[in-house]
């Protein structure tokens, strides 16, 4: 199978496995795992933060971050199709008592004025007060769109005036960095908390991190344990993340080029399905609403010929490139997917 469902489906390379097997480990709940400690210090420094905490999932990293910024009954603002809102199963409300209000933007791309219009930082005793804003970069359900650092900086400047904090869901911040050239430090200085993922795009089997100052990370450690996510000799996984940071960031350019090739082929076959200029990273989001086939139907047709994609709604088919995609996989999808789209267009 040519697996284009997500960049999470990658398997560790031989070199990554060797790095994992030779890792020096200890009990991380006691703070005794040197490989975890080194990874946390490293990734915090990359973004100009004081501390970091290693987590098994990106969702947990996000949830630890926002619960340190927003108390129960207070408000988090986020884009309507962001991962925190759509793909974390109501965790902010379930575990932290956080109320969420959303704005809708084209392809998930933030315009700071749209967010500022929603701010309610000091709503008094009878209304909900805004305490934090979450920005996703790249934006998953927006087709891997890259947020403008200008918009982020303007939003940071204005929200700071009223003491509203900012969280970066940076699961694919590596892709945003490669696509835009914006440095990790420039991202880091605009957010109070950051989550990053090592298993999306970078090829590690498991692992994310939440970054912030010492105080908030210390609080997050308590909640990680409380949520049942204290880990023991987890340095074997941290070693994979370190290997990924060493070797797999710059190669993301290839994933972006392959995604653009798929987007161009699909646009040529069925122009209504995608605008290639919107494809900035490794996600191709196809809109099938004007075709005579649904996303689940097309997904099944592709599976029958050995291509796995993701049907994320009745008309939304997602194709994601990653480091385990081969030249043969690309030849297959570039031949078959446009042909199926063209048939659905004329049916």
Q: Which of 100-104, 231-235, 343-347 shows the lowest mean pLDDT across its residues?
A: 343-347
Say whether pLDDT at 347 is over 80.
Answer: no
**Which of the 8 DSSP states describes residue 140?**
T
Helix (H, G, I), strand (E, B) or coil at 133: strand
Cα 314 to Cα 299: distance, rounded to the nearest angstrom: 11
* Mean predicted confidence (pLDDT) in 322-333: 98
pLDDT value, residue 10: 97
Q: Which helix (H) or strand (E) holds 165?
A: strand 165-170
Domains and CATH numbers, the chain: 14-247 (3.40.640.10), 251-346 (3.90.1150.10)
Cα 91 to Cα 106: distance, rounded to the nearest angstrom: 25
pLDDT confidence tier of residue 60, bands split at 50, 70 and 90: very high
Give the count of beta carbons closer than 10 Å to the beta carbon of residue 151.
Answer: 17
pLDDT value, residue 86: 93
**pLDDT tens, 20-45?**
999 999 999 999 999 999 999 999 99
pTM exceeds 0.85 for this model: yes
**pLDDT tens, 287-322?**
999 999 999 999 999 999 999 999 999 999 999 999
Say whether pLDDT at 245 is over 90.
Answer: yes
pLDDT confidence tier of residue 345, bands split at 50, 70 and 90: confident
**pLDDT tens, 185-204?**
999 999 999 999 999 999 99
């Amino acid at each position: 199978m040519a697996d284009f469902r997500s960049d999470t489906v990658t398997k560790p390379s031989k070199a990554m496995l060797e790095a994992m097997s030779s890792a020096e480990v200890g009990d991380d709940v006691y703070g005794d795992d040197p490989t975890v400690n080194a990874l946390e210090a490293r990734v915090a420094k990359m973004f100009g933060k004081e501390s970091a905490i290693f987590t098994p999932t990106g969702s947990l990293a996000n949830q630890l971050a926002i619960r340190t910024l927003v108390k129960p009954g207070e408000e988090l603002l986020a884009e309507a199709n962001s991962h925190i809102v759509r793909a974390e199963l109501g965790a902010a409300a379930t575990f932290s008592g956080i109320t969420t209000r959303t704005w809708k933007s084209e392809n998930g791309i933030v315009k700071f004025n749209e967010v500022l219009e929603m701010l309610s930082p000091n709503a008094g005793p009878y209304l909900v007060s805004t305490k934090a804003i979450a920005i996703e970069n790249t934006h998953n359900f927006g087709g891997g769109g890259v947020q403008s650092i200008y918009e982020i900086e303007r939003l940071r400047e204005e929200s700071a005036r009223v003491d509203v904090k900012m969280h970066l869901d940076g699961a694919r911040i590596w892709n945003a960095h490669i696509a835009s050239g914006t440095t990790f430090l420039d991202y880091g200085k605009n957010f109070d908390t950051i989550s990053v993922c090592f298993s999306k795009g970078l090829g590690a089997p498991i692992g994310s991190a939440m970054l912030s100052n010492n105080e908030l990370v210390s609080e997050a450690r308590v909640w990680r344990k409380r949520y049942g996510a204290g880990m023991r000799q987890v340095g074997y996984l941290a070693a994979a993340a370190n290997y990924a940071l060493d070797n797999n960031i710059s190669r993301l350019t290839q994933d972006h080029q392959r995604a653009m090739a798929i987007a161009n082929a699909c646009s040529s076959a069925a122009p209504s399905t995608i605008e290639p200029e919107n494809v900035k990273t490794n996600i191709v989001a196809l809109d099938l609403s004007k075709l005579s086939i649904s996303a689940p139907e097309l997904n099944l047709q592709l599976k029958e010929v050995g291509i796995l994609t993701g049907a994320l709604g009745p008309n939304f088919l997602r194709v994601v490139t990653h480091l385990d995609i081969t030249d043969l996989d690309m030849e297959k999808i570039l031949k078959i997917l446009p042909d199926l789209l063209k048939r659905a267009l004329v049916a």
